[in-house]
Amino acid sequence: MQILDKIKMQRKEADDRPPQLPISWVEISNSVSHEYQFQPDGKLSVKMVDDSRPAAQRMVESFLNKFFPSGYPYSVNEGYMRYTQFRALQHFTSAALSVLSTQSLLFAAGLRPTPAQATAVSWILRDGMQHVGKLICSNLGARMDSEPKRWRILADVLYDLGTGLEVMSPLCPHLFLEVAGLGNFAKGMAVVAARATRLPIYSSFAKEGNLSDLFAKGEAISTLFNVLGLGTGIHLASTICSSMQGKLVVAPLLSFIHVYSVCEEMRAAPVNTLNPQRTAMIVADFVKTEKISSPADLRYREDLLFPGRLIEDAGKVKVGRSLHEVVRPSKLQQFKETFPEEKFLLNHGSRWTDMILEHNATGEDALRGWLVAAYASDMERLVPEPSTNTLQEAYDKMNCVFSPFLAELQAKGWHTDRFLDGTGNRFAF
At 316, is the secondary structure helix, strand, or coil? coil
Give the residues across from 38 on adjacent strands.
23, 44
Q: How far apart are CA 147 and CA 219, in angstroms?
A: 22
Q: Contacts by 261-264 with C-beta closer than 8 Å and gap 24+?
A: 261/86, 261/87, 261/89, 261/90, 261/93, 262/86, 262/90, 262/152, 262/153, 262/156, 263/153, 263/304, 264/82, 264/86
What is the chain's pLDDT, residue by residue, as a tens digit (429 residues)?
Answer: 555 565 555 555 555 555 555 567 766 665 566 676 766 766 666 666 666 667 777 777 777 777 788 777 778 888 888 998 999 899 899 889 888 887 887 777 665 555 655 555 554 554 555 566 666 766 677 788 889 999 999 999 999 999 998 898 888 878 777 777 788 788 878 888 888 888 889 988 988 778 888 888 888 999 899 999 999 999 998 888 888 899 999 999 999 999 999 999 999 999 999 999 999 999 999 999 889 999 999 999 999 888 878 888 888 898 888 887 888 777 777 777 888 888 888 888 778 888 889 888 999 999 999 999 999 888 888 776 555 678 888 899 999 999 999 999 999 999 999 898 887 678 776
Q: How far apart are CA 329 and CA 416, in angstroms?
A: 32
Q: How far apart are CA 225 and CA 88, in angstroms?
A: 6
Sheet holding 317-319, edge to edge: 317-319, 353-357, 344-348
